[in-house]
């Protein structure tokens, strides 16, 4: 089962490098990795989705929590949380398939964010598997380029706050 590990760390690149290096060294299968600014100033949030069991995620979280520059590490099984990924897909658009493309977009709650007579960019957000399914559905139109963000994740409000290990 996939496990989410969410790491609040200083936004310095060396700290990010330290955290990513720790993940690499522990040799765990990483499904997705995403980094963006955190709520707190000067901090980033690194979200990692691991294909491992709870014990594996727990050990990873503890090792990450030791690193200097890491403020807090949370982990939770993805089943107890929400994960979301953003993707931009540049796709070929022809007049005859335009309506069909819009139908597919509607099905996946995707929006067309840029368009020329020959091509368009559609934006979709959702779980990694939804994004993948959407990309597959677009293949028949002709995909020109794809940009995916990797997943961010939060534990569900109803779930326990995850196994948070706050700094002293």
Residue 107 interacts with another protein (CB under 8 A): yes or no:
no
Judged on CB neighbours under 10 Å (0-12, 13-18, 19+), 135 is: middle
* Strand ranges (E), 62-142: 70-77, 81-92, 111-115, 119-126
Residue 11 interacts with another protein (CB under 8 A): yes or no:
no
Report in angstroms how near the CB of residue 162 gets to another protein at its nearest. 14
**Of residues 162, 37, 31, 164, the one with CA closest to residue 85:** 31
Q: Rule CB under 8 A: choose which of 41, 99, 103, 168 binds another protein.
A: 168
Q: Which stretch binds another protein (CB under 8 A): 11-19, 93-101, 116-124, 152-160?
A: 11-19
Structure tokens at 3: 């496990």
Residue 117 interacts with another protein (CB under 8 A): yes or no:
no
Residue 106 interacts with another protein (CB under 8 A): yes or no:
no
Report in angstroms how near the CB of residue 18 gets to another protein at its nearest. 5
Residue 69 interacts with another protein (CB under 8 A): yes or no:
yes
Q: What character string, x for contact with another protein (CB under 8 A) and - otherwise, covers 29-68? A: --------------------------x---x--xx-xx-x
Report in angstroms how near the CB of residue 33 gets to another protein at its nearest. 17
Q: DSSP label at 93?
A: -
Phi then psi dihedrals of residue 117, to 5 deg: -60, -25
Report in angstroms how near the CB of residue 166 gets to another protein at its nearest. 8
Tokens 């014990």 -> residue: 55
Q: Is 68 left (phi over 0), alpha (psi -120 to 50) or beta?
A: beta
**Of residues 93, 97, 81, the one with CA closest to residue 159:** 81
Query: Which residues bind to another protein, rule: CB under 8 A?
Result: 10, 14, 17-18, 21-22, 25, 55, 59, 62-63, 65-66, 68-69, 165-168
């Amino acid at each position: 089962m996939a496990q989410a590990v969410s790491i609040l760390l200083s936004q310095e690149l060396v700290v990010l490098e330290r955290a990513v290096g720790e993940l690499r060294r522990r040799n765990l299968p990483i499904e997705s990795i995403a980094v963006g600014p955190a709520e707190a100033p000067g901090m980033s949030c690194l979200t990692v989705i691991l294909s491992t069991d709870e014990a594996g995620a727990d050990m990873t979280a503890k090792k990450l929590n030791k690193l200097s520059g890491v403020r807090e590490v949370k982990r939770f099984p993805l089943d107890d949380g929400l994960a979301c990924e953003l993707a931009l897909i540049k796709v070929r658009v022809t007049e005859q398939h335009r309506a069909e493309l819009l139908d597919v977009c509607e099905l996946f709650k995707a929006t067309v964010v840029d368009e020329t007579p020959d091509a368009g960019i559609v934006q979709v957000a959702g779980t990694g598997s939804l994004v993948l399914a959407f990309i597959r559905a677009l293949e028949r139109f002709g995909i020109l380029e794809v940009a995916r963000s990797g997943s961010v994740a939060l534990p569900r409000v109803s779930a326990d706050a995850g196994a948070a290990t706050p700094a002293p």
